[in-house]
Structure 1
Amino acid sequence: MGFGDASAKDKKAAAAKAKDEAAKAAAEDASWQDTDKGVQKKAQRAADAAAKADAKLAAKAELKELERQEEEATSQMKGANKKASGYPKVTQAEIARRQALMGAVAKANPKKQSKKTEVVSQPKLEANTNRQEDVVDASGIDAALSALDVGEKKQVKMTYAEFEARELDGIRQENPGLKMSQAKERCFKMWERSPENPKNQDK
């Protein structure tokens, strides 16, 4: 063994010391790691969401590219840039004009008339009677009678304010010593018993 060479014991001790230090470093690293399952799941969800967002953006970009390629391909086709005009709205006057023209053509050429070109008259349009008040539309005798107001005359419903305006002067004249609040209280009691009160009327 030469000068400065380490003995086997020293080598073993150094190796054991290095191993212990490595184990301590690993233990310290492990202690700094977050082992909370909730935090780990949250981090995993965030990573998954980021991956989904990236995939979505990539799919969107790919779709745009495909659309652009398809537009290029269709624009080269014959008549692709022409817009479809569709059918314009036809008014009653236009229908009448067309029928008159078809009728004139049919009279001029009676032999050429076929089932395809036969003019069919439009059914008669009836006025809308939904909002007319004088029209009675009821099924059954009771409904018809109530719609026509035959029999008893309906009582007009009165409000308390109208009743009070009409009766308060009479109460004040009969009882001149009453205060206004007392007169109004008597008027209200009369209103509760009055047949003009909608609550007292038969429905």
Structure 2
Amino acid sequence: MALKTFVKISNINNLSDARYCAGMMVDVLGFNIDSSSDTFVSESDFAEITNWVAGVKFAGEFHGARLSDIKSAIKQYQVDYIEIDDLSIVEQVGLLGKPLIIRLAINSEVDLSKLKSNLSYLDELAKIVIIKSSNESLFSQIDAELGYYNGNLRLLKGYGIVEDTNLGNYPGIELEATEEDRPGFKDYGQIMDILELIEED
């Protein structure tokens, strides 16, 4: 069965997560392919995992990576999207021929004050924007601010997601994968709870 909303799962690094999420018909699986990261997924592991799943798009996640590293990595990995969190390189990365996912962190009033202008800037440059926040006191303000957005971007909620979450103005969500207990053994935890909740009847 399909899901009621668009779903991206970030930080995939094992086949168990990939197969479960693909079976639940999520839309995008994200892999950290920034070689400087602690959760880096090697080219061989990426190929091994992605060869086992179908019907889902793959995103190469680069959070804090240099432009040169991104250019090098996407020659080796067969990804459908490039995901970055650095607005200063959006236009250069956009020239690499892959649709962009942008991760925006809203953790302060200053970040929030820039949200509208950032979305306006990204409107013709990116396909998807993931809104992240670790500041619970801002959650309702972020939701309210996004209530006025009427552009072309697909916005994904990446904060404050629990079983009774109201997606509000978000046409999708992002959840984060976790490590396997051991190969082939996995407690899917929140991912299972949320995906089963939004599964079509």
TM range (shorter): under 0.3
Structure having the larger proportion of residues in helix: 1
For normalisation by structure 2, the TM-score amounts to 0.13
Structure having the larger proportion of residues in strand: 2
Relative to the length of structure 1, the TM-score reads 0.13
Larger Rg: 1
Tell which has more relative contact order, 1 or 2 (C-alpha 8 A, sep 6+).
Answer: 2
